[in-house]
Structure 1
Amino acid sequence: MKANTLEEAVALTKKFTSKPSNEELLKLYGLYKQATEGENQEERPGGFDFVAAAKYNSWLSFKGKSKSDASADYIDLVNSISEKYL
């Protein structure tokens, strides 16, 4: 089963029977946010909220990537990891 659109890729991730690695989850998060919202304009999380900081940094790592490129990369990533998690 391969996804061809961002919506299909998101739906496919919901069918995963096991959880992807933290690295994969962060990359999925960053690409999704870049594809749907564009550049990260949020304030950097402070304190000891390491999960929020990791998500923020992942999204920030795709700065400059167009929404359409981020969407295509997200779809490619989901398709490549789906074999492991379906």
Structure 2
Amino acid sequence: MTESFKKAAEEVKTLKTRPSDKEVNALYGLYKQATIGDIDSATARPASFHIIARRKWDSWTEKKGMSKEEAMAAYVDVVEKLKTKQNIK
């Protein structure tokens, strides 16, 4: 699975248009879960005025408990759906 994950991580950089905020957040959370694992409980949720940092934190926290392998597979699925949506082979 790691090879397809690495490939997807590179392919996402070549998308024709930027994914929606929801899609970007999903990709971020899955990527962090796949590469690092659960977010450290000592990492506090960013303040509400740090909107982007807070969204990233929330996206990663939502994946808590997901195995790295599950996160990699889900990340690859999201990238493949984005490629299909943008007609990229």
Spell out structure 1 runs of 4+ moving beyond 4 A. Answer: none
Query: Secondary structure at 1:62's aligned position in 2?
Result: coil
Taking only aligned residues, the RMSD between alpha carbons, in angstroms, comes to 1.2
Give 1:47 deviation, angstroms: 4.5
What residue is the counterpart of 1:11 in the other structure?
A: 10
Unpaired segments of 5 or more residues in structure 2?
A: none
What residue is the counterpart of 1:34 in the other structure?
A: 33
- The alignment's TM-score, normalised by the length of structure 2, stands at 0.87
Q: Which amino acid aligns with 1:66?
A: S
What residue is the counterpart of 1:66 in the other structure?
A: 67
Q: Distance in 1 between matches of 2:63 and 2:73?
A: 13
Q: Distance in 1 between matches of 2:76 and 2:14?
A: 15
Aligned residues: 83
- The alignment's TM-score, normalised by the length of structure 1, stands at 0.90
Unpaired segments of 5 or more residues in structure 1?
A: none
Question: Identity of counterpart residues, as a percentage?
Answer: 39
